[in-house]
Structure 1
Amino acid sequence: MSGQLVRSLLIALATALVAVPLGYFVAPWLGWGVFCLGLGLQLLFHFRNFARLDRWSRHPVVDASLEGEGEWDGVFGRLYRHEKELRQQIAQREQEIAMLIAAGQALTDGVVLLDLEHHILFCNRTAEAQLGLKIEVDRGQSIVNLVRQPEFARYLSDNDFSRPLSLRPERYRERVYAIHVIPYAGSRRLMQIKDVTQEDRLDQTRRDFVANVSHELRTPLTVLAGFLETLQEIELDTEERQRYLQMMSDQAGRMQSIVQDLLTLSSIESAPPPEDEVVDMSRLLDKLRRDAEALSGGRHTVELEIDGKADLLGAEPELVSAFGNLVTNAIRYTPPGGRVRILWNRTPLGAEFAVEDTGPGIDAKHIPRLTERFYRVDRGRSRDSGGTGLGLAIVKHSLGRHQAQLDIRSEVGKGSRFAARFPLHRVIAQG
């Protein structure tokens, strides 16, 4: 602006140099008139640029046509560049904020931003689905009024966020959420909502597993301890002694079977994916039939039906274990005189191994849980049949490693059908 001041002084000096001679030699009024005219024109020039600047300041825009005259052109040029840079910075900040919001929306955990009074400032889509919120409507509302659960309200009011809150929302009682509240920025709180339903189920499964193993082993151990105490304290004849020893042997064998099945299940779960070796199904099916006849001892009719010859790709020991469990269960639970059918069918979608029996059948309410470890429809009857409660769990894991599905159909009083369906890429046609 110093250049503009010098220029104005020079113009005023030049005007004075013209006006003084005119006023001295011609007429004083003429000199003053010329001098005032010069100053007036200069003021008009500046006023015109000031008016332009005033209009722009009321509605600042990035306008390349914004320009002045003389030194004012430099002023307007600097304003144009400053406004352009400022708008670029604002656009960049808005883009960064939009990316942060998009990242928050992409999180699989729920995120809710609250103020100190627990009013909602922001929440992502995951939190909306988890807590039933709607940010367009609920922004500014107290989250305690929207999530009406006493334990949640106490957690926020206690102000102790050292541990997360485990919450089962009223609208989704089967879900379990871990809620963490993190104070930030002085007067803000970030609430993170993590879905821990799967972890909770796994933890419950582990607890049930330990309880079931303890229960399954306690009975034979109690029997063994009782018989040992009897043998130590009471004199028995040879026949009675042998009977007790046989019962002890049966209970020891039962415990050995449980431990063996547990080891089998553990090895299947931790083993690498099965190798794609060709399993000769004709030989395997014939072995299953002979094993079934041996286990039945002539008490059942055992049939083998093959529709479309095909082999499988997979781990033969695992498939033998899975198929053998299905066949053994059918023999054990089918009353004498019943029929057990072993079926192998090639289908357009792959192949199916099935075992059908004419046993007592299973109530539909039990079917979804049959593959759970130690789950029994009738505990006493299962133990009498020699089962450990782990057979179908082994079947499920073995088939899952071969991308096969276990389909169970049963009707009380008519029998059951257990089918393992293999995908097409696991099937090799013969001939």
Structure 2
Amino acid sequence: MIWLRSIIYYLTLALLALSVGAIWGAAAGWALACVLLALSVLFHLHNLGRLHRWTQQPRVDNVPASFLLWQDVFDRLYAQVRLQKKSQDKLTNTLERFTSAGEALPDGVIVLDEHDRIEWCNRTAMQHLSIDRTTDVWQVLTHIVRHPSLREYLRTQDFAHPLILRTTRPAERVLSVQLVPFDSTRKLLLSRDITRLDRVQTVHRDFIANVSHELRTPLTVVSGFAETLMDMPEMDAATRTQQLGLMVEQTQRMQRLVDDLLTLSRLENGQQLKEEEVDVPQLMRLLQAEAEGLSQGRHRVAVAQLATTRLIGNHDELHSALSNLVSNAIRYTPAGGGITLSWLVEDGQPVFAVSDTGIGISPEHIPRLTERFYRVDRSRSRTTGGTGLGLAIVKHILQRHQAELAIDSKPGTGSRFAVRFPAHRLLPD
């Protein structure tokens, strides 16, 4: 023990002084005792000064070294400092791992104190709510994110239900925000980007509404004519034939709609594409013949450019997509107009294009043409027999072939629909 060693140390000094006093006299003994005591005090003062200087910059690599009693003190100090540094390093590593885990989360995380001030947030939360960690830390969250619904949500401390928050800065987003308490005063605010889910739900609702609307008219016609036939058994043959013809026409319209829905569902299920060699020049001749049959002589159908290039893809899907574009050109081109088909290679990429001299499309409608049931002119689409799903089917087929659809159109001057396939699908002549 250190106190026992101190007693032994000073007893040794006293015995040494007594021995000198016994040999050379009491005066010599007292003089030696005073000198030894002074040196001991100076030794302790010197080491105390070194210890004081070390406490001003305490590091494990600059702990003083000495001898005798002070060496024990410094050794114990070194061991304690080293143990503390290990604990600190361990805590630092743990904190860094938790911080890295928080940064890696796909959801936003904000740590709030009891006054709703920001203590920490990850990068996702910064993106979701436009928070700057360098300037906004220890700021009240509602002073930065100014949404009345968020202020009310934080005030009520509703931990059971999330808040749906729509933001416009820095981008339009729909966020699901929820409070989670994790100690007596602090809480987490978690944010999740549900923009895509919200859009899917909106599309789903619109899709159900559009399908219901598209089926309601033909069902009403068929039902009405059926009731008329039942209530009027003596109807003349001409009227009966006319009504039955209209019923057949509406039934066929519903059948086309169902077929297109099934096709679209099959494409959206992501079934693996069965690829084969597609003889596009032969397909072009088939498309021209189908266009002439659909036109029944009302339009001029021509093939302006016909390369001999073949393609890797699915023949049936490409036939469906390209014939859809051709049939649209026929439907929306007045009698006497022209339809031009072309198959060529531009900048190493194969391109199919169909041009017409039809009514054209306004620029604001072009980005939405491939949406399901989107129609520029709803009444005209019904008279032409379209289901509103054709270009949506085209979009999915082209996506499966990594192809892009470019639309160039102006009202009154016609349209050009061009399909650009990737170069790796091109087969050499």
Q: TM-score range by the shorter chain?
A: over 0.9
Partner Cα separation in structure 2 for residue 149 and residue 44 of structure 1:
70
Offset at 1:95?
A: 3.9
- Partner of 2:167, secondary structure, is coil
State the distance in 2 between where 1:106 and 1:271 align: 30
- Secondary structure at the aligned position of 2:184 is classed as coil
The aligned counterpart of 2:322 is 323
SS in 1 for 2:397: helix
CA shift at 1:19, angstroms? 4.5
CA-to-aligned-CA distance 1:362-417 (integer Å, 9 cap, x gap): 11111111111111111111111111111000000000000000111111111111
Aligned: 1:348 with 2:344: no
TM-score (norm 2): 0.93
CA displacement at 1:347 relative to structure 2? 1.8
Question: Could you list the per-position Cα deviations for residues 221-254 of structure 1 after superposition, in whole angstroms to 9, with x for gaps in the alignment?
Answer: 0001100111111231111111111100000110
Partner of 1:130: 128
Quote the residue 1:18 is aligned against.
19
What is the aligned length? Answer: 427
Cα drift, residue 10 of structure 1: 4.5
Change (3 A) 1:239 1:248: same
Give the 3-state SS of the residue equivalent to 1:226 in structure 2: helix
Structure 2 contact 350–421 (Cα < 8 Å) conserved: yes
Kept in 1: contact 2:174–2:194 (CA 8 A): yes
**Aligned-residue CA RMSD (Å):** 2.1
Output the CA distance in 1 between the equivalents of 2:269 and 2:311: 22
| Larger deviation, residues 345-354 vs 85-94 | 85-94
Counterpart among 67, 78, 81 of residue 80 in structure 1: 78
Match of residue 51 from structure 1:
49
* One-letter identity of the residue aligned with 2:208: V
**Cα-to-partner distance string for 1:159-196 (whole Å, 9 max, x where unaligned):** 11211111112535732111111111221111111111
Residue-by-residue CA offset, 1:112-152 (whole Å, 9 max, x unaligned): 21112111112223322322222222222211122222111
Q: 1:172, 1:250 → 2: CA distance? A: 51
1-structure distance, mates of 2:29, 2:169: 94
Query: 1: CA distance between counterparts of 2:423 and 2:272?
Result: 18
Secondary structure class of the residue paired with 1:366: helix
Seen in structure 2, the aligned counterparts of structure 1 residues 170 and 288 have a Cα distance that, compared at 3 Å, is closer
Equivalent position of 2:216 in the other structure: 218
The SS at the match of 2:336 is coil
SS of the residue 2:177 aligns to: strand
Question: 1:224-263, aligned counterparts within 5 Å?
Answer: 224-234=222-232, 235-263=234-262
Provide TM-score, normalisation by structure 1: 0.93
2:281 aligned with 1:295, yes or no?
no
8 A contact 1:330–1:357 mirrored in 2: yes
**Distance in 2 of aligned mates of 1:208 and 1:257:** 20
Residues 179, 194 of structure 1: 8 Å contact kept: yes
Cα distance change of structure 1 residues 47 and 11 upon mapping to structure 2, 3 Å threshold: farther
Counterpart residue identity of residue 57, structure 2: H
Letter of the 1:401 counterpart: R
CA contact (8 A) 1:112 1:127 kept: yes
Task: Give the secondary structure class of the aligned counterpart of 1:365.
Answer: helix
The aligned counterpart of 2:277 is 278
| Distance across 2 between alignment mates of 1:418 and 1:125 | 42
Matched-pair contact (CA < 8 Å) for 2:108–2:125: yes
Q: Secondary structure at the match of 1:409?
A: strand
Q: What residue number does 1:148 align with?
A: 146
| Partner Cα distance (1:267, 1:334) in 2 | 30
Measured after TM superposition, the shift of residue 59 of structure 1 is 3.2
Q: Could you say which residue in structure 2 is the equivalent of 1:4?
A: 5
Match in the other structure for 1:332: 331
User: Which deviates more from structure 2 when the two are superposed, residues 359-368 or residues 71-80?
Assistant: 71-80
Which whole-Å deviations, capped at 9, do the CAs of 1:282-303 have from their partners, x for residues lacking one? 2111111111111111111110
CA contact (8 A) 1:110 1:194 kept: yes
Partner of 1:373: 372
Aligned-partner SS, 1:303: strand
- Structure 2 counterpart of 1:206: 204
Q: Give 5+ residue unaligned stretches, structure 2.
A: none
Whole-Å Cα distance in 1 between the matches of residues 78 and 171 of structure 2?
60
Q: Any unmatched runs of 5+ in structure 1?
A: none
Structure 1 CA distance, aligned partners of 2:96 and 2:338?
A: 68
Preserved CA contact (<8 Å) 1:307 1:346: no
Whether contact under 8 Å (2:279, 2:311) holds in the other structure is yes
- Report the equivalent of 1:33: 31
Q: Name the counterpart of 1:397.
A: 396
- Going from structure 1 to structure 2, the CA distance change for 1:412 and 1:65 (only over 3 Å counts) comes to closer
Structure-to-structure mapping, 1:90-101, within 5 angstroms = 90-101=88-99
Alignment CA distance shift 1:67-1:306 (3 Å): same
Structure 1 equivalent of residue 164 of structure 2: 166
Write the distance in 1 (CA, Å) between the matches of 2:413 and 2:49: 99
Q: From the superposition, tell whether residues 145 and 45 of structure 1 become closer, same or farther in structure 2 (CA, over 3 Å).
A: closer
Please give the alpha-carbon distance, in whole angstroms, between the structure 2 residues aligned to 1:186 and 1:65.
Answer: 40
CA contact (8 A) 1:119 1:141 kept: yes
Q: For 1:338, give the aligned amino acid.
A: G
